[in-house]
Structures are given as structure tokens and as C-alpha cells.
Amino acid sequence: MFANYLIGLREGLEASLVVGILVAYLVKSGHRDRLAPLWAGVLSAVILSLAFGALLTFSSSQMSFEAQEAFGGSLSIVAVGFVTWIVFWMRRTARHLKAELQDRLDAALAMGTLALVITSFIAVGREGLETALFIWTAVQATGQSTAPLLGATLGLVSSFVLGYFFYRGAVRINLARFFTWTGAALVVVAAGVFSYGVHDLQEAGVLPGLNDIAFDVSSAVPPDSWYGTLLKGTVNFSPASTWYEVAAWIAYIVPVMTVFFLPGRIKTPALAGTPAER
């Protein structure tokens, strides 16, 4: 639940900040009458994200076991790629986010209502699709549906509440630090998802080595114990892992975490206050 709460919180907060900046700019620039097309784009993006999640669930349920494993493993790796990209993208562009969005919004206002709908749709839709894909892979990894969905829902609700308070100026936190540490946590989660994706591809017969076990600590960490479930749900830890899974985890987390925390790589000032003030 915690890993999915983190995903929902981070991705939802990014979307909330984007919407808050767009809304604040329209209000400040005297275009309050154009809020309806903006919200139409946001709503369309939310519907698309929900439909995408439903399509993934329905499609996988119609497949054979091997096809399900290949499908799930491939999408797990794709999800890891998306999450990695968005983690680095937010660190790189956070300080320019407001100006970038306002430039796009100015162009959309000049082009008309449809362009405004498309602008808000794209801004929110990207976050929604990434969230739907990553949560779907988490559900497949844990073999549960209630806990991951509940965690993601609570994360999204929390992000919307925080986004509203940011917009109203009632909450001020160091968003640069927030995105740095939640980004690092997501890198750890993504490493587990990547490892699990490799395991799925092994079960599908796409990759060899399914029976080549690197370690088995099932006696010390039973999969059905509370701590085994906790480790599985947060970082996708498997008590019995193959050499391919271990290699995939190390090959991902070592270079990605190293680059993420390179000293002086990205100097992003703190983003605080309301979107209108930034």
C-alpha cells in the first residue's frame, strides 16, 4: 500500500500543481471565462487514464498464462522507463515549470477553445497514464488488488488536498526537496518492479534462468508473513530470487541512483507558495 500511496501522491501532486498553475494564470490574466475548456481537458484526461487501466486489466485476463506473464513483464519494464523519465524530468524542469506552462497556455488561448482543451488534456493525461500503468504493474506484482488500489487512491486524494492548499496559499513546503526524496523512493520501487518484470519474462519463457536461484530466504522471510508482505508491497522484494532478477535490480538501481544524486548535477531552487505567486 505504501509504494502505491507514494506513486499516487507524487504523480497526483505533479498533476495538481500543473492544474493549479493553469487555473491561477487564467484567473490572473482575466480569462476566467476560459476555465470551462480547461476543466474539460482535465476531465477527459482522467477518463482516459481510468479507461487505460481498465483496458490493461481486461486485455490481460483474456490471455494464456505465458502470454499474461510476457505482457505483464513487458509493461512492467515500460512502466519503469516512464517513471525513471518523469523523476529526472521533474528535477530538471521544476524551476521552469510555471513559465513553460504559461507559454503553452498563451499559445492555446490565441488558437482557440480546442487548443486550450488539448493543452490541459496533455498536461494531465501524461501523469494519469503513467500512474495507471505503474499501479497496474504493482497490482500484478503483489497479486492483490485491494491494497494497491486503496494506497493509490489515498495518495491521489492527499495530493489533491495539498494541491488545493498550495493554490490557496495555505501550505508552504520545499517542493524541490519533496520531489528529490520522493523521486529517490520511487527509484527504489522502480528497481523492484524492474526485477519483477524480468521474473515475469522468465516465467513466460522469454528469458532463461527461472530455476537458477541466487538466494532463498523464504524460511527467514515467509512470503505470507506481515513483514514479507510489507517488503513485497513496498519494494517488490522476493524471498527467492533468480540471478537474472538480482542482476536486473543491481543494474537499474546503482547507475540510476548514482546519477540522481550526483553532486551539483541539478540545482533546483525551492518552489513554495501558491502557483499564482510563483
Structural domain includes residue 13: yes
Q: What pLDDT does residue 266 have?
A: 45
Q: What pLDDT does residue 231 have?
A: 73
Structural domain includes residue 276: no
Q: What pLDDT does residue 273 have?
A: 45
Structural domain includes residue 214: yes
Range of the domain at 33: 2-260
SS3 of 170, please? coil
Q: What pLDDT does residue 47 have?
A: 92
Q: What pLDDT does residue 243 have?
A: 94
pTM of the model: 0.67
| Alpha-carbon span 71 to 255, nearest angstrom | 26
Question: In which residue ranges of the chain is pLDDT below 70?
Answer: 1-3, 93-98, 100-102, 141-145, 169-176, 226, 229-230, 232-235, 263-278
How many other C-beta atoms can be found within 10 angstroms of the C-beta atom of residue 150?
A: 15
pLDDT digits (tens, 9 = 90+) for 137-176: 777 766 666 777 787 788 888 888 887 777 776 456 666 6
Q: What pLDDT does residue 57 have?
A: 79
Structural domain includes residue 187: yes
* Total domain count, the chain: 1
